Structure 1
Amino acid sequence: MDTSQLRHHLNTEYARLRSVLPVDGDLAAIRVPSCPDWSLDDLVRHVGEVYFHKVDCIRLNARPTQEPDLSGLSSVQILERGFAAVSEVFDVRAPQDPAWTWFAPDQSVGFWIRRMAHETAIHRLDAELAVHDPSGIDAALAEDGLDEVLATMLVADIEPHEYEIGRPPVEVRTEHRSWFVHFEPEALRVSDRGEAATVIRGGAADLELWLYNRGSGDDLTFSGDLVGMGVLKDLMTEATQ
């Protein structure tokens, strides 16, 4: 998915997130079922702080060492100002411009455009679940989200000591695409082909929500070595928390 499409989705997902927040009411009193330790106030503050953090990653082209002073601001104000700030920096920087990221192969502004689109989509759903008004994730965005969460987040976060080296690959398959997770000595590797012992099939949105622990998996099909399913789910929980 190109960056113009990702910007469109980021804007759409943010607008939906902002629109579901109660105008009147204590956000701190509303629990987020998909993030049991958080209130809706915590969730909103988190997303806003993430936006500010990415602004610094881009402007400094280095890992930020200081947090912005957001004292005196409500969680909604932090969200709104954070989104305005990250949107402004995305407007003035080209996707190929340099930016510090935690993923060594991609040190670009485009990396953060993609990351913020998916971060916002997942947390938009969290907010909807908190106010009992959930809606789906766009299929094309979810397909790209699967690629990001498997080939970027999972690979970057999981170390070889956290899995059994040499165990058979696990395949995640949508109607249009497959991802094979290989358990190699140096690191996890994700490719578009392989001989999988475990196959997990489903719609892109259902698969993405299951990998992010936002879906039950009831609409997915599992075949082969079901131990591999649990292995992948445990690794994904570690990579996305």
Structure 2
Amino acid sequence: MQSTLDFPDLLRLIDERSAAFRAAVAAAPSLDAQVPTCPDWTLFDLARHLGEGRRAWAATVAAGPDATAKATPVGAPAAPRERAALVAWLADSTRQLLDALRDAGPDRGCWTWWGASQSPRTCGAVARHQLQEIAVHTYDAQLTAGAPEPLPDDVALDGVEDFLSTCCATTHAWPHEPATVEYYLTEGSSWRVWLSADGARVARLATPDHAPDASARASARDLVLAFYGRVPLDALELDGDRRVFDRLVAWEPG
């Protein structure tokens, strides 16, 4: 599947969402505040996760197409507890990721955890998915700071297809009876997911046929947040067999 965002836009938006994350960390009343959407984490835990994760992906991209596992940065400083230093550490984490992606370019191969999906194992696909991880965690941080903002339209629109092709599509067998699911965006795009013993296959629909076993309709912003468990499924307009959605949420192909 082709991204609706080109590589320079992905990098620009990674930078923008990372800056918004840092602003939320700087504005929050306390780094010890619990993150409502990640209840086992404080805001400091979330910031440490985001920064360490971006440094690890920077190292993985830099390791090149022959890497066989996610890289561990060597000599990376721990996330500092003091707020201003933490914000600066986060900015450096973003810089490392962006530098690595720019140096590699979108077409170079890269180790990824999604080998069984429909997303390619390239640095461009890494940038695409990194944008979504950063955007969703920025929402988490903003919610913790008391001022959540909707996902930007261009991020959310690309995020629906990224999630379906990267996190949903798989060659691992669906353990239930075959089913079809369709997702309709209020912005106009739609996708079908086929679930069977062959796994989960995803495709855009030119014209929805309105005959799936289950369907969901929502804005791209709400659908991405539902995909990542930030809003409940009931926030979407659901139709058909609700059990299919419950099984999809519980499914952990491996």
TM-score clears 0.5: yes
Number of the residue aligned with 1:184: 196
Moved more, 170-179 or 98-107: 98-107
The separation in 1 between residues aligned to 2:172 and 2:109, in whole angstroms, is 26
Aligned: 1:135 with 2:135: no
Aligned: 1:54 with 2:60: no
Whose helix proportion is higher, 1 or 2? 1
Aligned: 1:171 with 2:185: no
Moved more, 120-129 or 91-100: 91-100
CA RMSD across the alignment = 2.3
Residues 165-219 of structure 1 show CA distances to partners (whole Å, capped at 9, x for unaligned) of 42x2111111322222211212111122474111100111111111111113454
Number of the residue aligned with 2:70: 64
Residues 97-117 of structure 1 show CA distances to partners (whole Å, capped at 9, x for unaligned) of 222222335121111111111
Aligned: 1:4 with 2:13: no
Pick closer, same or farther for the CA change 1:143–1:34 going to 2, 3 Å. Answer: same
How far 1:70 moved relative to its partner?
A: 3.2
Number of the residue aligned with 2:243: 227
Q: Is the 8 A contact 1:206 1:217 kept in 2?
A: no
Q: Is the 8 A contact 1:170 1:232 kept in 2?
A: no
The separation in 1 between residues aligned to 2:28 and 2:225, in whole angstroms, is 29
Which SS does the other structure have where 1:22 is aligned?
helix
Gaps spanning 5+ residues in structure 1: where? none
The separation in 2 between residues aligned to 1:219 and 1:72, in whole angstroms, is 38
Q: Is the 8 A contact 2:56 2:72 kept in 1?
A: no
Pick closer, same or farther for the CA change 1:224–1:165 going to 2, 3 Å. Answer: closer
Q: Is the 8 A contact 1:53 1:67 kept in 2?
A: yes
Pick closer, same or farther for the CA change 1:233–1:74 going to 2, 3 Å. Answer: same
Number of the residue aligned with 1:213: 229
Opposite residue 202 of structure 2, the aligned amino acid is V
Whose strand proportion is higher, 1 or 2? 2
Opposite residue 151 of structure 1, the aligned amino acid is S
Pick closer, same or farther for the CA change 1:39–1:86 going to 2, 3 Å. Answer: same
Aligned: 1:88 with 2:94: no
The separation in 2 between residues aligned to 1:185 and 1:72, in whole angstroms, is 44
Pick closer, same or farther for the CA change 1:35–1:19 going to 2, 3 Å. Answer: same
Number of the residue aligned with 1:43: 46
Pick closer, same or farther for the CA change 1:23–1:210 going to 2, 3 Å. Answer: closer
Matched ranges for 1:81-160 at <5 A: 81-104=92-115, 106-156=120-170, 159-160=172-173
The separation in 2 between residues aligned to 1:24 and 1:127, in whole angstroms, is 8
Q: Is the 8 A contact 1:200 1:229 kept in 2?
A: no
How far 1:73 moved relative to its partner?
A: 4.1
Pick closer, same or farther for the CA change 1:218–1:52 going to 2, 3 Å. Answer: same
The separation in 2 between residues aligned to 1:229 and 1:13, in whole angstroms, is 29
Number of the residue aligned with 1:197: 213
Pick closer, same or farther for the CA change 1:94–1:179 going to 2, 3 Å. Answer: same
Q: Is the 8 A contact 1:173 1:201 kept in 2?
A: yes
The separation in 2 between residues aligned to 1:190 and 1:24, in whole angstroms, is 39
Which SS does the other structure have where 2:108 is aligned?
coil
The separation in 2 between residues aligned to 1:26 and 1:212, in whole angstroms, is 25
Q: Is the 8 A contact 2:157 2:221 kept in 1?
A: yes
